[in-house]
A = this chain, B = another copy of it.
């Protein structure tokens, strides 16, 4: 029901970069910000959004915060997408056949 939030979150290129950096494992905010063309506070804000969308979780480590991917949000998107996929594929095949028939009639 919240695949919407996940989609909106991942539509931003910077946020996607942050998220994809976490693909190789948990990272602190500072590490995530390093290498990105935006400031550290910006990354913090993106992480907040990602967290609210259920895409990441965090854990304290002294004065650091370690972020890592949360499969929850990803799972919601996957379910939504899979449901679409089957239905859409079938509809598309019907469509292709219709076009073919029309073509043949010429």
Contact = CB atoms under 8 A, between A and B. Distances in A.
Q: Is the interface of A mostly helix, strand, loop or mixed?
A: helix
Contacts of A75: 85
A99 B59 contact: yes
Range, interface on chain A: 20 to 34
14 contacts: A7-B7, A7-B11, A7-B16, A23-B87, A23-B91, A26-B91, A59-B95, A68-B91, A69-B88, A70-B92, A74-B81, A74-B85, A77-B81, A78-B82
Interface of A: 4, 7-8, 10-11, 13, 16, 23, 25-26, 59, 68-71, 74-75, 77-78, 81-82, 84-85, 87-89, 91-92, 95, 99
